[in-house]
Amino acid sequence: MIFLEAKPILEKIKNDIASRVSGISPKPRLAIVMVGESAPSKKFVELKEVFAKSVGIETQRYEMPVDISTNNLRERMRDIVHEPRNSGVIVQLPLPGQIDAQAILNAIIPEKDVDVLSARAVGNVSVGKSHIMPPVAGAVKLLLEHYGVEVSGKKIVVVGAGRLVGQPVAMWAMRAGAVVTVLHGADQVNHEMLKDADIVISGLGKPRVITGEMVKDGVVVVDVGTSEDGGVLVGDVDQESVSKKASHMTPLKGGVGPLTVALVFQNLVTFLEK
């Protein structure tokens, strides 16, 4: 079984970004909007800040109270998006339940939407008019290409239909020529289509819901989901049982996540070069 590790790809991307940033003045800055203080969100924001520093990109964190309303957050977003020093803007997801998340994401203009989550940016991707890819889909694509996993003509099951993982990954896989099935929730996971999949890509965010008995021998498994289980960050996939069946799978750490972070900043630099 081969682990789909990001490390062999990551250093090349990091060096490329740093080289491109060195010729840009003033230095690019990524605005990070964070609502509340959930542990997973703080961890992901910190990872982005560390990566940014390593390639010469500045970050500005905008912290909002967990009880902020959609209208108030949209007003703050307007100022953040149109601040000239902010070269790109991301909203750390998920947002609290009282907030209309898509309304907030739509406040980001496509030229600064490095996460590709606003309706306009998603529309550009869907018709092939975007210069960038959604970071998670781009990370999955890079991993599979690097390890020689063919996508065209393969049966791919995407578990979860969220805006960060499921939707952009399914869109990319269909455009790449795969036969794609999307299973929307945990109640659909133990499904005959999952058992028949050549490639399983999961972004459900439910601890260890995919087990070895649910997949076939030789399956390729890409786990993008993260959640807390007893205070520990875990994936959607039960590593121990699935590793006995898979030909390739992402490790618990060092798979899609680090590449996703890198591609956020690659997208930022690409915008500045257009």
| Block mean pLDDT (10 aa), the chain, length 274 | 95 96 92 88 90 97 96 97 97 93 96 96 88 95 97 96 92 95 82 91 92 95 86 87 96 92 96 86
22-113 and 137-254 share one fold: yes
pLDDT value at residue 92 = 93
Predicted local distance difference test score (pLDDT) of residue 252: 86
pLDDT (0 to 100) of residue 187: 78
Instruction: Give the Cα separation of 179 and 117 in Å (integer).
Output: 24
Q: Could you write out the DSSP letters of every residue in 238-268?
A: -HHHHTTT-SEE--SSSSHHHHHHHHHHHHH
Question: In this structure, which CATH number among 3.90.1300.10, 3.30.565.10, 3.40.50.720, 3.40.720.10 belongs to the domain 137-254?
Answer: 3.40.50.720
170 touches 200 (CB < 8 A): no
Structural domain boundaries of the chain? 22-113, 137-254
C-alpha–C-alpha distance, residues 156 and 159, integer Å: 10
The per-residue b/e assignment along 250-270, b for 16 or more CB within 10 angstroms, e otherwise, is bbeeebbbbbbbbbbbbbbbb
- Domain 22-113 indexed as CATH 3.40.640.10: no
pLDDT at 126: 86
Note every long-range contact of 119-123, with CB atoms under 8 Å and residues 24 or more positions apart, other chains counting.
Answer: 122/167, 122/168
Helix H or strand E encompassing 201: strand 199-202
pTM greater than 0.75 (yes/no): yes
Q: What residues does 158 pair with on adjacent strands?
A: 182, 201
| Tens of pLDDT, residues 13-42 | 999 999 999 988 899 999 999 999 877 788
